[in-house]
Amino acid sequence: MPAHPSSRMPSYLRQLGDASGPVSLETAADLRSYLAAVPDPRARRGIRHPWAALLTAAAAAVLAGAASITAIGEWVADAPQRVLALLGFQPDPLTGLIRPPHATTIRLVLAAVDGDALDRAIGDFLQ
């Protein structure tokens, strides 16, 4: 049975998973500067997480071995606070804790992102 379309890895992220050798978390966080150039299609109202942090988290999950959108969402949900901070998520001003994005948020981000812009950013990073 074929995989559900929403669970398949987008091709522009798959190339990160094909990168040779292990990649440190700091290197994955460096990817954030490249992903900052990817346009954010979201309306300003109701934004909870920075766009570049969401994209960087998805990329870091792929670099860590996630092979589907579901696995990416699970990786981000399970990431420790220090990892979320390194990826660009901001702590709540009252509690000081970073609330990771829900797996549905990751799925919606990956569905909404400009694939060509993301592909260029990842290609530039890999070079």
pLDDT by 10s per residue, the chain, length 127? 444 444 555 555 655 555 555 556 666 667 888 999 999 999 888 789 999 999 999 988 888 888 898 999 999 999 999 999 999 999 999 999 999 999 999 999 999 999 899 989 988 888 8
User: Cα angle vertex 118, ends 126, 2, to 5°?
Assistant: 100
Rounded CA separation 92/86 (Å):
15
Q: Hey, where are the domains in the chain?
A: 7-126
At 84, is the secondary structure helix, strand, or coil?
Answer: helix
Report pLDDT digits (tens) over 89-102. Answer: 999 999 999 999 99
Rounded CA separation 40/67 (Å):
24
Report pLDDT digits (tens) over 15-33. Answer: 555 555 555 666 666 788 8
Rounded CA separation 93/99 (Å):
11
Rounded CA separation 102/88 (Å):
16
Rounded CA separation 56/64 (Å):
12
